[in-house]
Copies of this chain bind each other. A is one copy, B any other.
């Protein structure tokens, strides 16, 4: 199967990150086209990627016959037009949040996609793909905790840019917990209240921070979210689900922690080396591939364990086998590495 040819629209912070991701870590796809409202920025990005062109007009990029799919990382106000173009050209599109900047245009996009009768739009709520959130969802869906009742969320940033205002706390930060709530509970949110306590002395004047959002779902579940974007500490995102038969928390830097009857708390140990070291194998192979690709077949450089490392391990294990038999300390017998130039 040939690589999916993707157009990335918008190569700011988020878009550039996606370009790097698709180019270096994603299998089966490549960035074929980039676009940005600052044309030079797109040109610069394109130069660094084999087989990639910059196209000045985003709608041209979408329509381009050599583009199979689109990643939208443009500013929110341009989303509606670009999404409708993707629908028109039947191009699958991954759209960074928000879908659009207001509810009417969002609804219009929904309607137009529904009329096509095909699902082409995915919105970039990435938390659904996080191991901890996925684990929490699986735990909930497994039924072990019974009916969910309450969700406590914490969303903390160490700092925000100067232009960040109180409304952005709702639109840009809370929006993630809105999706998490809907993802976990599978029901719509029906009301919302925002409490603004005395503001952090360290916050910029005029910014309400922290804010506390209190939401209720169609099924009567309660959600509270502490939004605090000037903590000075770190990026902390925490979610505690409280349910009929127990509770579970993620984002506490210790994996998913569950509390359940009969009065125990704890987590899960990885059952096998695949779960424990699966990602390490991915990283090992990707780095080795990158090293081979960049090094050619003569004289590659790898940052991984060398033949000498393999020899040393064998030598120690051989002594270990003797030690197992004798019960006594055994000296490890190895040649001097310096005696083999190049080893």
Contacts and interface: CB of A to CB of B under 8 A. Distances in A.
A156 B37 CA distance: 54
Contacts of A120: 300
A232 interface: yes
A35 B261 CA distance: 38
B95 A310 contact: yes
A289 B141 CA distance: 26
A246 interface: yes
Given A106-B310, A210-B222, A269-B263, A293 B324 contact: no
Contacts of A102: 314, 318
Decide if the interface of chain A is mainly helix, strand, loop or mixed.
Answer: mixed
Contacts of A208: 324
A291 to B, nearest CB: 8
Interface in A170-216: 170-171, 174-175, 178-179, 182-183, 188-198, 200-202, 208, 210-216
A292 B30 CA distance: 13
A284 B126 contact: yes
Nearest to A122: B304
Interface string A152-170: 1010001000000011011
Contacts of A311: 99, 103, 106-107, 109-110
